Amino acid sequence: MGRARPIVLDTKAFAKAGDARIFFSEMLQRYSPGDRVNDEDAAHLKALLRRHDEEADKVGSGISHITVGPAPDYFNQQCFWINRTDGTRIDFSYQHCLEKKPYD
């Protein structure tokens, strides 16, 4: 069995990546499509987004707020959406953010 891979964010630390995956999956399931994520959850998501290899492209002009909506590439699934300060939106995958990075 492999060694546990901790995930450390600015807002929360997880002993292993699987714990982080469960945390963000449960967060996503608490919301319905179109819901705006509350401030506490948004803080965790913004910290998680720092692990995304395309963070600058995802954030763009800045984050106004985060919502939940249909996943563009997966039928009948939902994902988080960044609503930017310039009025544009883009989806992001919490799972992508949790993938093993060179510095993990």
Q: pLDDT by residue (tens digit) across 25-63?
A: 999 999 999 999 999 999 999 999 999 999 999 999 999
Residues 49, 54: Cα–Cα separation, whole Å: 9
Answer whether residue 1 shows pLDDT above 60: no
For the entire predicted model, the pTM comes to 0.91
Helix axes 17-29, 39-49, angle to 10 degrees: 140
pLDDT band for position 2 (50/70/90)?
Answer: low
